[in-house]
Each structure stands twice: as structure tokens, then as C-alpha cells.
Structure 1
Amino acid sequence: MKQLIEPKRINNLAFKQCTYLGNIPEHPHYEIVKYQNNPYYQKESDFIKDGDFYRPNNETYHYVSIHKDCFKSPESCYTIATFREDDSGYYIHCYTNIAEFDNTEMLDFRDLVCYGLAYLKELDSEEE
């Protein structure tokens, strides 16, 4: 069973295990995320409370629901790449155009990909 690891963060990018609602599967997926300022941080009062969720205080975005936890952290993150596994090993599936990264982000991304692949290779060798 693959174990939960501490995320490795370099500037605004991090390699981490995917977050799961409920039980973590025996073989969890891993991802690289990009951190940014959280536009919802401490802004509950700008929204209408509806159970564990909040809605914008206007009709234009009446279909939007924001979970109460989104107001707690000054940072939020989104997935930019996931590590997938097939018969030939691990590969990376990107969800964003990394060509738009500046030089620092590109180097950080490269370092996290190398770290992630080495980590996953080590885990695989421990399971054998």
C-alpha cells in the first residue's frame, strides 16, 4: 500500500498525493499543484450561507456553491498535472499549458516531476 507523503513544495508549485473525500485508495494518485492567493479567504460575509455551502449574493451566479472550507486558508491550489500509471510505468498528464510558465516555474515543475517520478519508482520497488 502506498503511503501518504509530505508534499514537496518549491515556490508556488508542489508535488503531493491527491486529496480524497472518504477513504484513501490502496493505490492513490499523485499530482503537481499550483498555489495562488485565495480570493475567498475570510469573505464569508460577502455570500449567503446555505448549510455547509455559500452562494453569491446576486442572481447572476445563483448556480455557484462555495464550501465553507474555502474561506479558511489564505492560499488555494489547483491541479496542473497528475501522475498516471500504465503497463509501461508512470507518465504525467498536464492540465495546463506549461509553456506559459516563466523560467522559475518551468525549473520548479521539472524538479517536482523528477522528484515525483523518483518517489513513485521507489514506492514500486518497495512493493515488489
Structure 2
Amino acid sequence: MKILASIVIGLIAALHLYIAWFEIFAWTTRGPAVFAAFPADLFEPTQAMAANQGLYNGFLAAGLIWSLLIKDPQWHRRIATCFLLFVAIAGIFGAYTVSPRIALVQSVPAVLALLLLWLHRPR
């Protein structure tokens, strides 16, 4: 369970690193193609907002990566739980305010990782 939880946590961290990169560096170049339903003239004026949001995603990724580097099993679990809850809550809020798809991309993997993390009993 511990290895599987770590793999899922690593994948969630990688996803949030990608989101951070996208929102900080590629919002105006790749954004219109990814979000084709949005008006193309929306991306330039919202670049600073997207970059700010990307920074938060970077912090989520950093916290999850940090949790994987902690050797003490109890502290690993505590820090991972904290950042996975942040991801799950952000996904729920995004699903409510933007698109239900966000819950599938963010909240479901975070809850899965939490279950795997808490099913493992550290010694």
C-alpha cells in the first residue's frame, strides 16, 4: 500500500507541476487550444491571474514532493494528508465553480491517495 500511495502522490504532484507550468508559462500560447470554448481574447488579459493560480498549483506539488522525501512514517503521513486534502478541496471547489470534470481530475485521485495512505499502517 505504501508504494502504491507514493506512486499516486507522485503522479498528483506531477499533474500539479504541469498545471503550474501551463498556467504560469503557457497560458496565452497553449491556453486557447486547450480551452477552445473560451473566447481567444480572454487569455491575454487573464495572464496574471492564471500565473497566480499556477503558483498555488506549484505549492501543492512542492508539498506533495516534500511529503515523499520525509523519512519518518508519521510525519510523512501527516504532511501528505494535509496537501492531499488541499488538492481534494480545490478540486471540489473547482467542480462547483467551473466544471464537474475538475473533481475527476483532482479530487478523485487525491481521495484515492488518501485511502491508500491511511490503509497502510506505519510501523
Larger radius of gyration: 1
The structure with the greater share of residues assigned to strand is: 1
Larger RCO, structures 1/2 (Cα 8 Å, 6+ apart):
2
| Alignment TM-score, normalising by the size of structure 2 | 0.33
The structure with the greater share of residues assigned to helix is: 2
| Alignment TM-score, normalising by the size of structure 1 | 0.33
